[in-house]
Amino acid sequence: MFLWFHKLGSPPHFYRIAGRFIPWLNAIFMVLVLAGLYGGLILAPTDYQQGESYRIIFVHVPAAWMSLFIYVVMAVCGVVIIVWRMKLAEVVLISSAPIGASFTFLALVTGSLWGKPMWGTYWVWDARLTSELILLFLYLGVIGLHNAIEDKRIAGRAVAILAIVGVVNVPIIHYSVEWWHSLHQPASLTKFDKPSMPPSMYVPILIMALAFQVYYAAVLFQKCRAELLQRERNSRWVEEL
């Protein structure tokens, strides 16, 4: 197990494996997105209260989940960097940041667009919304810090520390709706008892969530490969390519 991990961690190996996966991931993503959109926009029934406008849920919720998930991935990479000095983790961390920032942005935008018909306002300074905005700033901080440090190995460790420190924000985002009675609705799906919506609604959400995960993996692999090439451009295996 550890050996396998170690092997995957070696840049040339990862480069090759990732390259093989990317086309597949892209294909799976296309299929899932089409299925999710079909399920969400056509098969799923309208909501008894919100009518059609609730369908933005099929983008908003997966995007919001991804924004949290990717940050956690980054924090885990951060620990790996600090403890094991694994180069691949640096690459994964920094390649994840822009993707995470985009998902956060998407969640914010879809949320505001949804908020107008739902709540009567695009934006309120409520705990969930504010903490999500802070998440965006944290992502930007990671990107900015990485750009600002020229020596990329040092930059990798710097953003590792920042990612670890910032991860306290994630539980705050998740539990904000309970702790602060925010305007944002409580969890419909991410709770321990059964979802507060029929399968015809939550199945497409889950499919879309999976699609976003696959998309993340595909883009991540692509970015990692580019970053790896850039970093290891004078090592033997790159020259052999």
Partner 1 sequence: MSANTLLETRNLTCIRNDRRLFGGLELVLEAGQMLVVEGPNGCGKTSLLRILTGLRLADEGEVRWRGETIEKLAGDYYEEIAYVGHHDGVKRELSCLENLRLARAMGIPSALELDDVLEQVNLYVYGETEAGSLSAGQRRRLALARLLATRSILWILDEPFTSLDKASMAMFTGLFVAHIEAGGMIVMTSHHDIPLDHERIRRLDLGAKA
Partner 2 sequence: MNVQRLSLWQAFVFLLRRDLLLALRNRAEYAMPLLFFVVVITLFPLALGALPELLARIAPGIVWVAALLAAMLSLESIFRSDFDDGSLEQILLSAHPVAVLVLAKVCAHWLVTGLPLLLVAPLLAEMLGMPSAAQPMLLLTILLGTPILSLIGAIGVALTVGLRKGGIILSLLVLPLYVPVLIFAASAIENAAMGLDVTPQIYMLLAFLFLSISLSPWATAAALRMSAG
Partner 3 sequence: MTPARKKRLALVVLMVAGVSVGVSFALQSLNQNIMFFKTPSEVRAGEAPADRLFRVGGMVVAGSVSRPGDGLTVQFDLTDNEEQVTVKYTGILPDLFREGQGIIANGRLDARGDFVAEEVLAKHDENYMPPELAEMHKAREAQQ
Cα–Cα distance for residue pair 184/39, rounded to 1 Å: 25
Q: Looking at beta carbons, which pairs linking 141-144 to residues 24 or more positions away fall under 8 Å?
A: 141/166, 142/74, 142/93, 142/94, 142/97, 142/166, 143/97, 143/98, 143/101
| Amino acid at position 11, single letter | P
Q: CA dihedral in degrees (29, 26, 141, 181; nearest 10)? A: 0
Q: Considering the complex, what minimum distance in angstroms separates the CB of residue 6 from partner 1?
A: 16
**Binds ligand HEM (CB under 6 A): choice among 55, 60, 87, 225:** 60
Nearer to partner 3 among residue 90 and residue 126 (C-beta): 126
Q: Considering the complex, what minimum distance in angstroms separates the CB of residue 12 from partner 2?
A: 26
Nearest of 126, 143, 109 to residue 181 by alpha carbon = 126
Residue 139 Cα distances to 36, 49, 190, angstroms: 28, 35, 23
Nearer to ligand HEM among residue 90 and residue 126 (C-beta): 126
113 binds, among partner 2, partner 3, ligand HEM, none (CB under 5 to 8 A by kind): none
Q: Which residue is nearest to ligand HEM (CB)?
A: 111
**Binds ligand HEM (CB under 6 A): choice among 88, 108, 127, 207:** 108
Asked whether position 123 contacts partner 3 by CB under 8 A, the answer is no
Cα–Cα distance for residue pair 54/79, rounded to 1 Å: 39
Cα–Cα distance for residue pair 213/207, rounded to 1 Å: 10
- The single-letter DSSP state of residue 50 is T
Q: Considering the complex, what minimum distance in angstroms separates the CB of residue 204 from partner 2?
A: 32
Asked whether position 153 contacts partner 1 by CB under 8 A, the answer is yes
Asked whether position 54 contacts partner 3 by CB under 8 A, the answer is yes
Nearer to partner 3 among residue 18 and residue 56 (C-beta): 56
Asked whether position 61 contacts ligand HEM by CB under 6 A, the answer is yes
Q: What residues numbered 220-239 form the site for partner 1, per CB under 8 A?
A: 233-234
Residue 193 has, within 13 A of its CA and on its CB side, a CA count of 2
Asked whether position 20 contacts partner 1 by CB under 8 A, the answer is no
Cα–Cα distance for residue pair 48/55, rounded to 1 Å: 12
Footprint of partner 3 (CB under 8 A):
45-50, 54, 57, 117-121, 124, 127, 179-183, 185-188, 196-198, 200-201
Footprint of ligand HEM (CB under 6 A):
57, 60-61, 64-65, 68, 107-108, 111-112, 114-115, 118-119, 128-129, 132, 173-174, 184-185, 187-190
